[in-house]
Structure 1
């Protein structure tokens, strides 16, 4: 019976570890280059961070639709981190 309990506890612990790992936020990196972004498309979900790195050679400003969020000035070689929530457009 103790062996059965240990196997069950190990299975629960392994499943919990996999489930907790799936819930972690990811960092998605986007480079701001002259005239575009690289990559041009990312697949992010609420809880993820989109990290914009300015490699365009000039100060950049980012904003969401209708200025729902703004980055402020992003200096050359600086980054801006946008944390995505369910409310982020």
Structure 2
């Protein structure tokens, strides 16, 4: 018998897109019987890039400039992303 995966079981498709949700519908971080969804205090969106860019935008200018010089060749991709979301 094949194991159920998140994409083969319609009930599992209803679960949130959380970073801790395994393919079989169980939680990677908690020992619980059922996923509590977005109400869970451990719920974490899969797309952590948005979260990281939001954090970089919240830093002061000097820190942003230092990070941009060290890791991004002087550019600030998180600032470009912010401009696109406001259009």
The TM tier, using the shorter chain, reads under 0.3
TM-score, structure 2 as length reference: 0.23
More helix by share: 2
Q: Quick check: which one's strand share is greater?
A: 1
Larger Rg: 1
